[in-house]
Amino acid sequence: MSTDFTALCLGNPGERYAKTRHNAGFFVAEQVARALSCRLRKRLFSAYCSCYCPPLLVATPLTYMNRSGEMLRPLARRYPTPTGRLVIVYDQMDLPPGVIRLKRGGGAGGHRGVASVLENCSEQQEVLKLSVGIGRPPEHMSITEYVLSPPDDSEATLLSEACRRAADVLLRLRSEDESTVMSEVNRRDQS
């Protein structure tokens, strides 16, 4: 079984983290699954949940964020993905809440979940990265506390809208030219 492209949507499993900023990738995965009338399911003895609706495979890790890349090898055994057709969806503090960005290549930018995925890629892939802005923490709050807490009401509205738009980007990438989608997304969301 092969797939045309895979979206790795990052977050932390469990009820404790369900509504936190760090789970933006999970929110996007849920939106895509709903749009495709598909359900994210845990595979037996696997470190991920997945939903396959050709040509798109959506996967979320069942490991914690910093170990997200551990799902790549078992996922690749079940669903081989062509090089370059991997999209990492994750939260990004360097973007204001509600802004999304799509880019190809580059490093992890300090995001440990992205770093884990990049470290576990089978070869040097220039993966696509779809980031969802969550903004920076206030001065009195640590980064960890910030990303692992739920957004306030106004931020939650912005985050929800951004996740909806990010899900739409993944759906568009099924049939539209990557550079066109990227240009439109990044132009619309210039901060």
The answer to whether 159 touches 134, Cβ cutoff 8 Å, is yes
CB atoms within 10 A of CB 64: 17
Q: Which of 3, 9, 11, 22 is catalytic?
A: 22
The answer to whether 22 is a known catalytic residue is yes
For residues 53 and 186, what is the distance between their CA atoms, to the nearest angstrom?
26
For residues 15 and 104, what is the distance between their CA atoms, to the nearest angstrom?
32
Tally of residues, the chain: 191
Angle at 41 between CA 80 and CA 30, to 5 degrees: 95
CB atoms within 10 A of CB 71: 24
For residues 171 and 101, what is the distance between their CA atoms, to the nearest angstrom?
15
The answer to whether 58 touches 75, Cβ cutoff 8 Å, is no
Which residues carry out catalysis?
22
